[in-house]
Amino acid sequence: MSCMLMASCTDLTENVNNEVTADNFFRTDEEFISALGDAYNPLTSYGGNTAVTVLNEVTSDEIVVAQKGADWEDGGVWIRLHRHTFTPSDDVINNTWNDFFSGVANANRLIFQFQSVVESGDVSQEDASAFIAELRALRAFYYYLLLDNFGNVPIVTDFEQDPSETAQPSTDFQDGRQAVFEFVESELLEVLDLVDTDVGGTIGRVNKWVVHMTLAKLYLNAEVYTGTSRWDDVVTHTNAIIDSGNFNLMANYADNFTVDNTGSPEHIFTIPFDEVFLEGFNLHVMTNHILSQPAFDFGSQPWNGFQTMTDFYGSYIDPAQNPGPQGDVVGLDPQGSTVTGTVDDRLDNFLVGPLLDLEGNQIEDDGVLSSDPNGPPITHTPYINELEPDSWRQAGARIAKYEMEIGLSGSNMNNDMVVYRYADVLLMKAEALWRMNPNDPEALMLVNQIRERANVDPFTSLDADKLLGERGRELFWEIVRRQDLIRFEGETQQTRFNEAWWEKNTSDPNRNVFPIPQNQLEANPNLEQNPGY
């Protein structure tokens, strides 16, 4: 952000007034929309392995990146993320900070440009206002992410303001976090009735329903951010989305994540990845075994990195219940044995068992460690033998939530990646109602809507364990688990964010936010490091 704004602030101002006019740009809605792209581009980092998604997933109990000999050692960053010993110098933390502030900077620049052509009289306020409101909402979305991940961060809204000289709202961490919360809230509320209400025409863009959703997320975690709960406000904004009639649950859970998932009635905000026009969604190569190309006819060799935590995979299987209508066999237990029990359709989130090519032949890995009992035929088991240094190359359930396209030529997927989804709306409303009244019948009904679609038995009552567990099963790899674990801290018998888990000791609650990157501290002496780092 510093590089972008410090180097050419004056020149950009002159260019806007002298060159960007109605005579050469901003004459049509299409030209406004084209300009918006710069503000959305940082979202492409969601699909890769260098920033926000992996930062949030690998620090949760969902995902682990075990060191497989020399593979995925990477200076120990994945081990540190898993064990919550991450540092201000870790690149993935710096990348996340840069991505979000790049989005803020681009939004500020475009707001400045749009306002300039209005002030010059070349474009009417009416024509520009919806686009300016959209940019303010997108900027607030980035600040919501900064609030959640880093806490007390500088608030920069003026394109001509030098961010390298900008201080946080307060030297007190909690006061500063309160100020960021209030900024995000006020911005979103101010633009709520100014942004577009269209759903189909704004795929991949911020509209009124994205604003409602971001406000609901903000209020859902308000007690973590500010110390004051806002459950009524969660209900208000989830109701706005529900009552709009624009969204509903897909009959089949997996259809939300197919290759051709654009326009799902469950999608509220997505990133419309495309292997040609919007690259960056690399999940299939991030997670699959290096020899799995024949299983999918991939044109690129996968990297064999991201695995599902054993216990998290096991949370989908309840052998104590009666088998579901699809049959007795559910899948593999954490040790790799076949189990029977209630069929949870969301087990398709994972790839386990023998890895077969497209002709049904088992793929072999002659390079497996002699200690690996499941080689050379590749058999993915939920069990992972160790975090480091010699995790088995085929250990761990692989992430199959997004359909893997047969014959995909490169390392970029064509699926739209979900940021906000209607199922989360129902679960957020249910949680808010339950927190205000643990016996609320509507809360139970909403959760059971989700369970019914997953083909599992309904709950007869709700508690913290059931709510957290259902959010985990439904919203796997949707960048909510770290946030949920922090919000439910101390309330459940399940994994808690700062408690010890597999290959991780108890961590300091200060780890609920990430450190401000070291190079940002060095560039801006007005920044104060977060507590505990």
Residue 226 predicted with pLDDT over 80: yes
Q: Taking a C-beta distance cutoff of 8 angstroms, is the pair 413, 275 a contact?
A: yes
User: One-letter amino acid identity for 102?
Assistant: S
Q: Residue 330: enclosing H or E segment and its boundaries?
A: strand 329-332
- The mean per-residue pLDDT over the stretch 357-377 comes to 83
* pLDDT tens column, 473-532: 999 999 999 999 999 998 988 778 999 999 999 999 999 999 999 999 999 999 999 999
Rounded Cα–Cα distance for residues 102 and 115 (Å): 20
Phi, psi of 239 (to 5 degrees): -60, -40
Domain with CATH 1.25.40.10 in the chain: 196-273+423-492
DSSP 532: T
- The mean per-residue pLDDT over the stretch 459-478 comes to 97
Rounded Cα–Cα distance for residues 332 and 337 (Å): 5
Residue 16: band (very low, low, confident or very high) from pLDDT cuts 50, 70, 90: very low
* pLDDT value at residue 357: 96
* pLDDT value at residue 127: 84
- The mean per-residue pLDDT over the stretch 214-221 comes to 98
CATH match for 1-186+498-533 among 3.40.50.300, 3.20.20.10, 1.25.40.390, 1.10.3720.10:
1.25.40.390
Residue 24 predicted with pLDDT over 90: no
Q: Taking a C-beta distance cutoff of 8 angstroms, is the pair 232, 214 a contact?
A: no
Q: Is 325 exposed, middle or buried (0-12, 13-18, 19+ CB in 10 A)?
A: exposed
* pLDDT tens column, 279-330: 999 999 999 999 999 999 999 999 999 999 999 998 988 755 544 444 444 5
Residue 407: band (very low, low, confident or very high) from pLDDT cuts 50, 70, 90: very high
What is the overall mean pLDDT for the chain?
Answer: 90
Residue 14: band (very low, low, confident or very high) from pLDDT cuts 50, 70, 90: very low
* pLDDT value at residue 492: 83
Residue 409: band (very low, low, confident or very high) from pLDDT cuts 50, 70, 90: very high
Integer-rounded Cα radius of gyration of the chain: 23
Fold of 196-273+423-492: 1.25.40
CA-based nearest residue to 357, from 366, 365, 347, 346: 365
* pLDDT tens column, 47-87: 999 999 999 999 999 999 999 999 999 999 999 999 999 99
Of the candidate ranges 100-109, 372-381, 476-485, the one whose mean pLDDT is the lowest: 372-381
- The mean per-residue pLDDT over the stretch 186-194 comes to 98
- The mean per-residue pLDDT over the stretch 348-372 comes to 88
